[in-house]
Amino acid sequence: MSKTETARLMEAVRQAVLASGERIKADWDAPRDVRLKGRIDLVTATDLAVEEGLKEALARVLPEAAFLAEETAARTVLSGLTWIIDPVDGTTNFAHGFPFVCTSVALYDGQEPVVGCVNAPLLGQCFTAGKGLGAYCNGESIRVSRTDRPEAALVATGFPYAIRENLDEIMADLRVMLAETQGIRRPGSAALDLAYVAAGRFDAFYELALNPWDVAAGALLVAEAGGRVGSYRPDGPYCLGDFRILATNGALHAPMLALLAD
C-alpha cells in the first residue's frame, strides 16, 4: 500500500473514530445500561452502539476489509485486510465514571499493521499512526521517551479479566516492578496505555492475556513513535494474539526483559 493511500486511510479512520467518540461523550452522564459477559467483564449499550456505528462507517472506507470487533468477534485469526475494533476500551472505567476510556481502531493486512487510531474522547486526545508515516496526538508528532534506566521509568500494566487463573504470575511481576522502577500505574485501558508509551508519558507497558483489539492500534503507535513492541517469556516479536506483550521506548527494552525474565 502506498504512503498516499495509507495517509488517506489514516485520516478516514480518524474521522470515523472521532465521530464515534461523540456517542461516548453523549452517554457519559446518562444512566449506564450495563450487563456482565463474564465474571467481572462488562459490556454496555454504548459499546454495542459505538461498534455498530464504526463498522458501518469503516465499511464505506474500505468495503473489501473484514472485521474483528470485540463485541461481535467470531474469530481471532487474521487473514487479509481486517479492521480491528475495540469500541470502548476501559468499559469498567466507563461504567464507574472514570474517564480513562478510549476507542481503538486499526487496519491490518494479516499480521501487518497499516493504520491505527486510539481516541480518548473524554480526555480530548486522539492518537493516530500510519505505517511509515509516524505517530501523532491531535495532529502533533509524538515520540517515545529517552529514559534508559528502570529506576527512572514510569511503567504501566494491566490485570486481565482472567485474573484468578494468572494471579501468581501477575503478583510476581508486580513485586519486581514495584521494587525496580520509579512507579507503576494501572489505569485500566491497554490501548491508551500503549498510546501513552508512544507519547513518552509512560516509558514501558507490559500485560498478559490481552486480545488483538486491545493492542492492535497501540502497538503501531509505539512502533511509529520510535519504540519497540515484543513478547516476553519468551522474548521475541509480538504477533496479535500472543499471551504477553511488552512495549517500551526501545532503550528500556532489554532492562525490562531482564526484570520480566523467568
Q: Distance between CA atoms of 170 and 163, rounded to whole angstroms?
A: 8
Alpha carbon of 201 to those of 197, 213, 252: distances in Å? 6, 22, 14
Cell of 204: 514501558
Q: Is 214 annotated as a binding residue?
A: yes
Q: Distance between CA atoms of 196 and 204, rounded to whole angstroms?
A: 9
Q: Distance between CA atoms of 241 and 245, rounded to whole angstroms?
A: 9
Cell of 145: 521517551
Residue 231, Cα to own-chain centre: how many angstroms?
Answer: 15
Beta-ladder partners of 85: 69, 105
Amino acid at residue number 83 = W
191, 217 contact by CB (below 8 A): yes
218, 196 contact by CB (below 8 A): no
CB atoms within 10 A of CB 35: 8
Q: Is 70 annotated as a binding residue?
A: yes
Contacts of 99 (CB under 8 A, 6+ apart): 28, 93, 120, 122, 123
Pick out the residues of the known binding site. 70, 86, 89, 214
Pick out the residues of the known binding site for Mg(2+). 70, 86, 89, 214
